[in-house]
Amino acid sequence: MRELLFLNQYLKKYQVWMFWGLLCVLLTNIFSAMVPILVRLGLDEALNQSIWISGNADAPIVGLVFQSALFFALAILLIAIVRGVFMYTMRQTLVVVSRKVEYDIKNLLFDKYQGLGEGFYRKNMTGDLLSRMGEDVSNVRMYIGPAIMYFANILFSFIVVIYLMFTVNAHLAFWVLLPLPLLSFSIYHVSKLLNKGNKLIQMQLSLLTASAQETFAGIRIIKSFGMEEAFGQKFNREGEEYKKRSMRLAKINSLFFPLMLLLMGMSTLLVIYLGGKEVEKGRFTPGNLAEFVIYLNMLIWPVASLGWTTALVQKAAASQKRINEFLQVENHQVLEGQPFLFQETILLNQLTFTYEGKSIPALQNINLEIIKGKIIGVTGKTGSGKSTLAQLLAAQYYTNPETQSILIDGVSLAAINIADFRRHLAYVPQDVFLFSETIRDNITFGIEDGKASEESILSAVEAACLDKDISQWPNGLNTVLGERGVTLSGGQKQRVSLARALIKKAELYILDDCLSAIDVKTEKAIIKNIQRWLSNSTTIVISHRIAPLRMASHIVVLDEGRIVAQGSHEYLMANSLYYRNLI
Ligand SMILES: Nc1ncnc2c1ncn2[C@@H]1O[C@H](COP(=O)(O)OP(=O)(O)OP(=O)(O)O)[C@@H](O)[C@H]1O
Ligand SMILES: [Mg+2]
């Protein structure tokens, strides 16, 4: 339960709403409690009249009884309406607060997620991130909204109704209330069973969905290998288990209501039996008896919901615990630090880097000088550490101590304001990622405040040799990509990704194998364009092919994380057997 203390700040934030909501709960209960009193008064009045009538031959029988019945009926109706208004307001305030808190927590989590570094995303799966923001926040909302509302309702109705019952007849009240804790307790247990069953069903459902999702995502390959049967059987197995779990839950569920009704019925019986005896002894009017039956029924729902509400709170506490776990992850983003100033060189000084959980370093003793305004080429076999080098230079691991070996004009990257550094950097990663937005949005994505002139978009598109492709798409630059729109070829994706970097006109470019899926002729054209484009920037080009490498004045050859040769293309061709073989 301690975990839920976190939510107190929100209860405080919306305390005015909470206050009015809780006041309405109280008023709803007070007005509800007036109904049984009116019923008693009405019934006793009618009985008195009928006694009087039976002793008086010329009394206008129907008229009198009818008049008083009408009076009480109208009074009850009026009270019911007032009560309804309060009940409506109670839901409008308390449930609305819970929605507002839900909104706040989702935003808080989203911001937190965005601030967390690479290490966090390696340890946690996207599905887990989403379920904490979705399902867990919903569970917490059930605590803020319904649970608090029902708890207040239970508390107030207990106070009001039990007080009234004891004032009417303390002896009877005691005996009638006796079985209620049993009811509450058993409902609590059944609710827990229901929750457990639900959880098992949810888990199975996600397996079932995943199985269907993977089947249809890979439907082409499944068909071409003739594996429909096997996948059908797998789906069937998951479905069978899902059915079994659902049936089990349905069984518990169908026990739930009869059990509740049985316990409620027994309490009512007890009132009528014991109350009837009191009436016989003259300590109780028939009106009192009716009043008591209604009181009891007013208590049944709160008592029943006590168990259910307790289970809700427990569920919320478990969810809040999971949310807190993520909120407590430390965020290492350093937004202080020096502004990015790059006048002369970027120096890699004995840079060694080992991925977490690996024993062999991905980069070892790298010494490299990157001079401002130059293009540096990086090549090497697959797995030799090229992308690792690119990621380190792009400050993807800037919280690792290794960044201290990267010096920009003598200042370590670790001491530089990372946001400022990124403003001056354009990085095209090896695996392209495009958003399901328009091509225009994908290209202008990195521009601060999103404002890019039409002219600059077009010139970036031209430089990336995308103009012809774009003119063929239905809406040109406004064509939507991804699931909702067109699918691009591998080479087209790479060029959109390149245009996104080019339009940024950054000081430092890192291009990780960004032309690998492009045909030789287009590659040549792009290289010509970007050479002009990048003449004022410093560029690191990673590639397996000669053409992009030839842009570079200096080429570094990596093998198993070490530099095995470096120099100009001509120099390496003449002096490095390794390079020559690679080419
Ligand atoms: N996130 C990671 N966690 C652990 N090991 C990694 C990670 N990324 C890469 N590696 C390992 O580091 C080594 C270097 O990988 P890197 O991606 O830098 O190679 P590369 O030269 O870019 O290869 P390619 O030409 O295929 O792109 C490889 O052995 C790879 O398995
Ligand atoms: Mg790579």
pLDDT of residue 451: 80
pLDDT of residue 390: 96
C-alpha dihedral, 462 to 468 to 472 to 474, nearest 10°: 0
What ranges make up the beta strands (E) of 16-69?
Answer: none
pLDDT of residue 266: 83
Q: Is 418 helix (H, G, I), strand (E, B) or coil?
A: helix
User: Pocket around ligand 1: residues whose beta carbon is below 6 Å from it?
Assistant: 355, 358, 362, 380, 382-388, 430
Distance of alpha carbon 306 from the chain centroid: 29
**Span from the CA of 542 to the centroid of ligand 1 (angstroms):** 13
C-alpha dihedral, 263 to 264 to 265 to 271, nearest 10°: 110
Q: Is 353 helix (H, G, I), strand (E, B) or coil?
A: strand
> Which ligand 1 atom sits closest to the C-alpha of 385?
18
**Span from the CA of 511 to the centroid of ligand 2 (angstroms):** 11
Neighbours of 219 (CB within 10 A): 12
CA distance 583 to 581: 5
- Nearby residues for ligand 2 (ion, Cβ within 5 Å): 386-387, 430
Distance of alpha carbon 520 from the chain centroid: 45
pLDDT of residue 189: 84
Neighbours of 183 (CB within 10 A): 22
Ligand nearest to the CA of 558: 1
> Which ligand 1 atom sits closest to the C-alpha of 360?
29
User: How many Cα atoms within 13 Å fall on the side-chain side of residue 206?
Assistant: 9
Task: Calculate ∠ Cα 60-65-68, nearest 5°.
Answer: 125
CA distance 45 to 529: 100
Packing angle of the helix pair 228-281, 286-327 (nearest 10 deg): 150
DSSP for residue 451: -
DSSP for residue 398: T
**Which tokens belong to 395?**
């400050």
Residue nearest atom 5 of ligand 1, based on CA coordinates: 355
Residue nearest atom 28 of ligand 1, based on CA coordinates: 383
**Span from the CA of 363 to the centroid of ligand 1 (angstroms):** 10
Question: For each of the chain's 583 residues, which pLDDT tens digit applies?
Answer: 788 999 999 999 999 999 999 999 999 999 999 999 999 998 888 888 777 777 766 666 666 777 888 889 999 999 999 999 999 999 999 999 999 999 999 999 999 998 888 788 888 877 778 888 888 899 999 999 999 999 999 999 999 999 999 998 888 888 888 878 887 788 788 878 888 888 888 788 878 888 888 898 889 999 999 999 999 999 999 999 999 999 998 988 888 778 778 877 888 888 899 989 988 988 888 898 999 889 988 888 888 788 778 888 988 998 899 899 999 988 776 667 888 889 999 999 999 999 988 999 999 999 999 999 999 999 999 999 999 999 999 998 888 888 889 999 999 998 898 889 999 999 999 999 999 889 999 999 988 876 888 999 999 999 999 999 999 888 889 999 876 667 888 999 999 999 999 999 899 999 999 999 999 999 999 999 999 999 999 999 999 999 999 999 999 999 999 999 999 999 999 999 999 999 8
**Which tokens belong to 455?**
């002219």
> Which ligand 1 atom sits closest to the C-alpha of 430?
27
CA distance 502 to 525: 15
Q: Which of 121, 381, 384 to mutate to test the pocket of ligand 1 (most atoms within 8 A of CB)?
A: 384
3-state secondary structure 480-494: EEHHHCECCCHHHHH
Residue nearest atom 12 of ligand 1, based on CA coordinates: 362
pLDDT of residue 82: 96
CA distance 148 to 184: 17
CA distance 7 to 319: 12
Residue nearest atom 4 of ligand 1, based on CA coordinates: 355
334-424+506-583 homologous superfamily? P-loop containing nucleotide triphosphate hydrolases (3.40.50.300)
**Span from the CA of 382 to the centroid of ligand 1 (angstroms):** 8
Provide the residue type at 351 as one letter. Answer: L
**Span from the CA of 385 to the centroid of ligand 1 (angstroms):** 6
Residue ranges, CATH 3.40.50.300, the chain = 334-424+506-583
Helix or strand run (H / E) with residue 134: none
Give phi and psi for 554, each to the nearest 5. Answer: -140, 130
**Which tokens belong to 185?**
């307790």
Q: Which of 386, 392, 400, 511 to mutate to test the pocket of ligand 1 (most atoms within 8 A of CB)?
A: 386
pLDDT of residue 177: 84
Handedness of CA 189, 193, 196, 198 (dihedral sign): negative
pLDDT of residue 500: 94
| Sequence-ordered list of residues with C-beta below 8 angstroms from that of 225, at least 6 positions apart, any chain | none
Residue nearest atom 2 of ligand 1, based on CA coordinates: 355
Residue nearest atom 8 of ligand 1, based on CA coordinates: 388
| Sequence-ordered list of residues with C-beta below 8 angstroms from that of 374, at least 6 positions apart, any chain | 538, 539, 552, 553, 554
pLDDT of residue 100: 96
Residue nearest atom 18 of ligand 1, based on CA coordinates: 385
Of 139, 141, 100, 142, give the one whose Cα is nearest residue 13: 100
